[in-house]
Structure 1
């Protein structure tokens, strides 16, 4: 494909977006080596912006560099995933409790729209679109102006498990369960019930961790 763009900034961003799409689509899976020349050729760019993009993904924890071997998609153990989700639980409860009183009607409608987009993408089996809508849904109810550092850490934790989240959404059963979970979460937001919201978020997160742990242990669908 011919998607070359002018300027080093735009080509680096193009390479970063292309690598993210490949991870989400499962074209690059945990533990797989990233072949830079092949990626560059597919995206219609030189190797330099691909390397720049890989450095960004390395900072996010999505890839790791192995000396004399190159970049690989980060492969996590079940214990790594459990630690990440435990940290998310602490940070997201704090964020949700602080953000909920600040959500106005427009903000709640944006969250509801993200939930609908997620459900429609799930119905189509469009994993990339569902992941994007899912992120808008969750972050829409967590962000507030006085939580800059909390949100920075939450984003880092989300980014570090994006390839595993893509595996989770590749299951039609889990896509359907996510839609129902989002309905319950949104209902708690509309009621402005912080305790119920935290409980629904915890249940949703626990389900994802359970499924992903089976994937890591070789018992889930790939």
Structure 2
């Protein structure tokens, strides 16, 4: 069940499943060779992760977000992640720093190979390993939870090379700041790291609103038959 939920999570992050797209139990049963009760468990797990919402008369849909929800989620992530960065004790243990560098090396390789599934998983591993340095497991778990809840938001940016390259560069800058014990730079990087995916989603939402308004105007003027 968890394996299927993880696969669907990847597809949501990579934009293969779109916001408001329905997830139908019968389709899941056929596609993954599942019993119906297992398909229901998969949908419940995705809902628990904040990736799916259930609507009356529609069933399960990939979660979509209002502008306010996006803004509030990222504001909370900023609070959590900058707080974690502020708690990291310097100098950072050499073994832990080497572990983070190793994960990032794999992330670099996956990016060069355009293996976005590995990029996604290694990105999560990098963040978790980084925030463990805060020494607060409660904070690490909260960061992981809200990072996961924004996966559908990140789908707008993750497939574009310029966003991926920026994220990679910031990871390396974070490692360098850890090595130098530069807390101010580390906190600033954590804050800046969240901006591209948030703004890409907000911009896409704005562009869809403009397109919908133009379509409605054309229809009302009799341009569309």
Q: TM-score range by the shorter chain?
A: 0.7 to 0.9
Residue in structure 1 matched with residue 180 of structure 2 by the alignment: 191
Unaligned runs of 5+ in 1: 1-11
Is the Cα–Cα contact under 8 Å of residues 92 and 179 in structure 2 kept in the other structure? no
Residue in structure 1 matched with residue 104 of structure 2 by the alignment: 115
Question: Shift in Å at residue 22 of structure 1?
Answer: 2.6
1:71 aligns with 2:60: yes
1:164 aligns with 2:129: no
Unaligned runs of 5+ in 2: 209-225
- 1:12-62, CA deviations, whole angstroms, 9 ceiling, x for partnerless residues? 223322322332342211111112211221112122112112112212211
Query: TM-score normalized by structure 1?
Result: 0.85
Q: Over aligned residues, Cα RMSD in angstroms?
A: 2.0
Distance 2:42 2:134 in 1: 28
Is the Cα–Cα contact under 8 Å of residues 84 and 134 in structure 2 kept in the other structure? no
Larger Rg: 2
Of 5, 11, 17, the match for 1:28: 17
Seen in structure 2, the aligned counterparts of structure 1 residues 75 and 107 have a Cα distance that, compared at 3 Å, is same
Question: Shift in Å at residue 145 of structure 1?
Answer: 8.1
**Secondary structure in 2 aligned to 1:64?**
strand
Question: Shift in Å at residue 152 of structure 1?
Answer: 2.5
**Secondary structure in 2 aligned to 1:167?**
coil
Seen in structure 2, the aligned counterparts of structure 1 residues 100 and 137 have a Cα distance that, compared at 3 Å, is farther
Query: TM-score normalized by structure 2?
Result: 0.84
Is the Cα–Cα contact under 8 Å of residues 65 and 71 in structure 1 kept in the other structure? yes
Question: Shift in Å at residue 139 of structure 1?
Answer: 1.5
